[in-house]
């Protein structure tokens, strides 16, 4: 049986790339960002449904897995940290009503690491309590894209759950020990001049910082402090124009940004640079999602084996009980 999934708050389809790499079938997707939806359609052939808050849960197709990278701004260090009091924070409850109505076997939720500690942990505790009340066994982990082969420091919390206890018992978290791909395999060789910072900006950066690494990506924080590493700091949707500079002199190209998130080379690029920066900054590290999906598929395969053995035992016992008693 092919596992079916829905892709909520789908953006440009990070979860979908991961799921379809294991031949899972998407039956529904949703997002309100028009530019992201156009990119999604160009790559997957269908245009996501609109506002999930206006979608009746009963109208969503039956599915086995619910994927949702629900909006992170209410919990992010670059947001206002309003959490559940922010309207976008309540979008979690749209996930809840769909779980109540459709009862998929699995869910995989993704958000920023800051969600775990938001409001001294009360917000995250409340989320887990609600999921427990829906009778889903669940667990969570914080993963860093650096440990899944990507040269990007991007920490995200993942929550995985199932409403079949014996199935969830077979789920194991993936190991986060993949060797980081070097920047040299991410960066493009021939970059158009329009990606280069102005001579003034380049000189300003070079005067204020000397990097120990080459190639490197230079990062400027809110206070104006410059640092550089042989990897990128987290891509951000609303970052300043020169937030990240390769070797202190140029911005990342759209393809480089997609590579930093683990998107495959076949992935089509639509829109201008600002739109791509927003779309990649809002997406998730594909290799982490792939590693989690792989563990779900393994759990499903193990569950089928156990079911088959149990049925065989039951059939065998029934056959024995029907045998005539010799006298």
Range 12-30 average pLDDT = 98
pLDDT of residue 81: 45
Among residues 180, 171, 109, the alpha carbon closest in space to that of 142 is found at 109
Asked if 174 contacts 168 with a C-beta cutoff of 8 angstroms, the reply is: no
Q: Which residue has the tokens 């978290």?
A: 173
Given the residues 10, 26, 37, 72, the one annotated as active site: 72
Q: 72 an active-site residue?
A: yes
**Average pLDDT of the residues of the chain:** 90
Name the 3-class secondary structure at 65. Answer: strand
Running DSSP on this structure, what letter comes out for residue 324?
A: P
Is residue 3 scored above 70 in pLDDT?
yes
Distance of alpha carbon 218 from alpha carbon 212, whole angstroms: 11
User: pTM (2 decimals)?
Assistant: 0.90
Distance of alpha carbon 43 from alpha carbon 12, whole angstroms: 9
Is residue 78 scored above 60 in pLDDT?
no
Distance of alpha carbon 215 from alpha carbon 142, whole angstroms: 28
pLDDT of residue 194: 95
* Per-residue pLDDT reduced to its tens digit, 224-274: 899 999 999 999 988 888 899 999 999 999 999 999 999 999 999 998 999
Which carries the bigger pLDDT value, residue 68 or residue 326? Answer: 68
Is residue 323 scored above 80 in pLDDT?
no
Distance of alpha carbon 28 from alpha carbon 168, whole angstroms: 24
Among residues 299, 60, 9, the alpha carbon closest in space to that of 161 is found at 299
Q: How confident is the model at residue 71 (pLDDT cuts 50, 70, 90)?
A: confident
* Per-residue pLDDT reduced to its tens digit, 294-318: 999 999 999 988 776 666 565 555 5
Which carries the bigger pLDDT value, residue 277 or residue 72? Answer: 277
Helix (H) or strand (E) holding 219: strand 217-220
How far from 143 is each of 4, 47, 208, 222, 235, CA to CA, in Å? 25, 30, 32, 24, 16
Most confident of 73-77, 84-88, 170-174: 170-174
Distance of alpha carbon 48 from alpha carbon 40, whole angstroms: 8
Helix and strand element counts for the chain (H, E):
10, 11
Is residue 82 scored above 70 in pLDDT?
no
3-state helix, strand, coil in the chain (%, to 5): 45, 20, 40
User: Domains in the chain, start-ordered, CATH in brackets?
Assistant: 4-174+282-311 (3.40.50.150), 183-266 (no CATH)
Two tokens, residue 262: 């683990």
């Amino acid at each position: 049986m092919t596992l079916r999934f829905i892709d909520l708050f789908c953006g440009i389809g990070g979860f979908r790339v991961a799921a379809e790499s294991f031949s899972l079938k998407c039956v529904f997707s949703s997002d309100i960002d028009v530019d992201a939806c156009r990119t999604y359609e160009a790559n997957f052939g269908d245009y996501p449904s609109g506002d999930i808050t206006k979608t009746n849960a009963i109208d969503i197709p039956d599915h086995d897995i619910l994927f949702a990278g629900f909006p992170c701004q209410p919990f992010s260090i670059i947001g206002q940290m309003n959490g559940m009091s922010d309207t976008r924070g309540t979008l979690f409850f749209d996930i809840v009503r769909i779980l109540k109505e459709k009862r998929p076997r699995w869910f995989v939720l993704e958000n920023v690491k800051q969600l775990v500690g938001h409001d001294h942990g009360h917000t995250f505790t409340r989320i887990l309590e609600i999921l427990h009340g829906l009778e889903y066994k669940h667990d969570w982990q914080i993963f860093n894209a650096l440990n899944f082969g990507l040269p990007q420091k991007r920490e995200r919390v993942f929550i995985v759950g199932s409403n079949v206890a014996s199935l969830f018992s077979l789920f194991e978290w993936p190991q986060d020990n993949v060797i980081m791909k070097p920047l040299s395999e991410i960066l493009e060789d021939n970059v158009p001049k329009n990606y280069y910072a102005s001579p003034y900006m380049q000189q300003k950066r070079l005067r204020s910082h000397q990097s120990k690494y080459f190639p490197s990506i230079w990062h400027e924080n809110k206070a104006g402090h410059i640092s550089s590493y042989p990897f990128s700091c987290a891509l951000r949707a609303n970052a300043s124009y020169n937030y990240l500079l390769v070797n202190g002199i140029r911005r990342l190209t759209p393809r480089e940004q997609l590579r930093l998130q683990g998107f495959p080379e076949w992935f089509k690029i639509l829109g201008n640079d600002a739109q791509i920066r927003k779309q990649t900054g809002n997406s998730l590290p594909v290799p982490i999602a792939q590693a989690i999906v792989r563990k779900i598929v393994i759990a499903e395969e193990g569950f089928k084996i156990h079911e088959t053995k149990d049925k065989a035992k039951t059939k065998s016992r029934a056959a024995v009980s029907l045998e005539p008693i010799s006298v």
